[in-house]
Amino acid sequence: MPDEALEDTAAAVVNYNDSGMSLLEMSHRSQPIVDLMEETTGLVRHLLAVPDNYQIIWLQGGASTQFSMIPMNLLSENEIADYTDTGSWAAKAIKEAQAYGSVHVSCSTKSSIYNHINKDLQQSSKAIYLHITSNNTIYGTQWKTFPDTLNPEGYLVVDMSSDILSRPLDFNSIGLIYAGAQKNMGPAGVTMVIIRDDILGKLDRHIPTMLDYRTHIDKGSAFNTPPVSAIFVVNRTLRWLNDLGGVQVIEKKNMTKADKLYAEIERNLLFKSPISEEDQSPMNVPFVFAENGDEKEFLDFCAERGLLTLKGHRSVGGFRASIYNAMPEAGVDALIAAMQEYESQRS
C-alpha cells in the first residue's frame, strides 16, 4: 500500500481530523464518515470514469461472496450465463453460480494449469451475461482486452479483484464489475461493486435483504454498519492514485515494472515464465526454475535482501512477484538485482 495511505491511517487511528476520536470509534452515521464514504465513491467514479447509469457500492464478505450474489441477483433458474474458466477464482465463481441457473463454461484452460487464456470462446447465444476474471491472481494471466458477448443483449460481469484501477476501463459492454479491495485499493474487509442500473430487479426469486444489491444502492452502502476503517484506507489509496495522475499514469508505471521483470525472467538462465507471453499479467508475475533448482534456497536468498512473499501459490509452486499499483519500481529493481546475483553465484 502507498506510504501516504499508511501514514494517514496511523494518524487517523489515534485522532481523526482533530476530533479527539479514533477512526476506529467513529459512527458510520457521523458527518465526517458520511463525507468520507461519499468522497471515496466519488474518487472511484472519477478515476475510472464510471458513467452515471452505474452505481458504486461497498460491501463485506469479500469477492467470494460476489460469486453467489451475482447469479442470485442476475440469473434466474431457467436462464443461461456464460463463464470462462481461466483460474481457481474463476472456477469458484462457476461452482457458486451453478446453484442459481444454467451455467455454460465457454472456455477452460484447466488442463494446461491455466498457463494461458483461451480467447476462442464458445458462448451461448442466449446467455444473460458472460463472466470473466480480468486478472488471474494465482496463475498470472490477464485479459488484455475484454471479449464481446455473443448475445447483443448480454453484458460482461468482471471479477477485477487483482487488477482494478491498474488501467483505464471501457464500460461499454460492462454490466457489473467487482473487486475485493485488498490488492490495488486498500486492506481486506471491503469489496467494491459497480453495477449498471438496468440489470437489477428482473428476477422474481426471493433474495435475502443483505444479499440484494438494491438494499445497498438504496442506502448508500450504509444499510448496516460498513467497514469504515477499511474504507478510510481505500480513500487514502485512491487519493494517492489521483494525485499521481490516475489510471493512465499508473498503467504506464505498471507496464514499466512488468516489462523489466519479464525481460529479466527471459534473460536469466536460471528462470523462466510458465505463462504464454501474450497473456502475461502486469500485476502477478509467476516464474519457475528453468531446470532443477532449490526453491527454498532462492526464497531465503531473497528474504536476506528484504524481498518477501515471493513464494508461488501452493497450487503452482515456483515464485510469484505481485507488483500491484503501490509497489515502487525500486522494489522490482531490487528483485531483478537479486535474481542476477543468484545467477552469477550459481554459474
Tally the C-alpha atoms within 13 A of residue 309's C-alpha that lie toward its C-beta: 6
Q: Under the criterion CB under 6 A, does residue 64 sit at the interface with ligand PMP?
A: yes
Q: Alpha-carbon distance 17 to 36, whole Å?
A: 11
CB 85 within 8 A of CB 105: yes
Which active-site residues does the annotation give? Answer: 89, 159, 183
84 binds ligand PMP per the rule CB under 6 A: no
Q: Can you tell me which of 26, 50, 63, 177 binds ligand PMP, judged by CB under 6 A? A: 63
Nearest CB to ligand PMP, comparing residues 26 and 181: 181
Nearest distance, CB of residue 20 and ligand PMP, angstroms: 34
Residue 137 sits in the site that holds ligand PMP (CB under 6 A): yes
Measured CA distances, 31 to 28, 37, 38, 298, 339 (Å)? 8, 10, 10, 51, 50
Closest by Cα among 254, 92, 90 to 163: 254
Is residue 62 within the footprint of ligand PMP (CB under 6 A)?
A: yes
Instruction: Name which of 61 and 317 has its Cβ closer to ligand PMP.
Output: 61
133 is an interface residue for ligand PMP by CB under 6 A:
yes
Longest dimension (CA), the chain: 67
Considering beta carbons, is residue 8 or 96 the nearer one to ligand PMP?
96
Site pattern 159..178 for ligand PMP (x: CB under 6 A): x-xx----------------
Residue 281 makes contact with ligand PMP by CB under 6 A: no
At 147, the amino acid letter reads P
State the minimum distance, in angstroms, from the CB of residue 90 to ligand PMP: 8
Write out the binding residues for ligand PMP, residues 4-43 only, by CB under 6 A.
none
Binding-site size for ligand PMP (CB under 6 A) equals 10
For CA atoms 142, 144, 148, 154, give the dihedral sign.
Answer: positive
Tell the smallest beta-carbon distance from residue 188 to ligand PMP (Å).
6
Query: Residue with the closest Cβ to ligand PMP?
Result: 62
Please name the residues in contact with 57: beta carbons below 8 A apart, sequence gap of 6 or more. Answer: 192, 193, 194, 195, 213, 216, 217, 221
Nearest alpha carbon to residue 165 among 54, 283, 264, 267: 283
Q: Which positions touch ligand PMP (CB under 6 A)?
A: 62-64, 89, 133, 137, 159, 161-162, 180
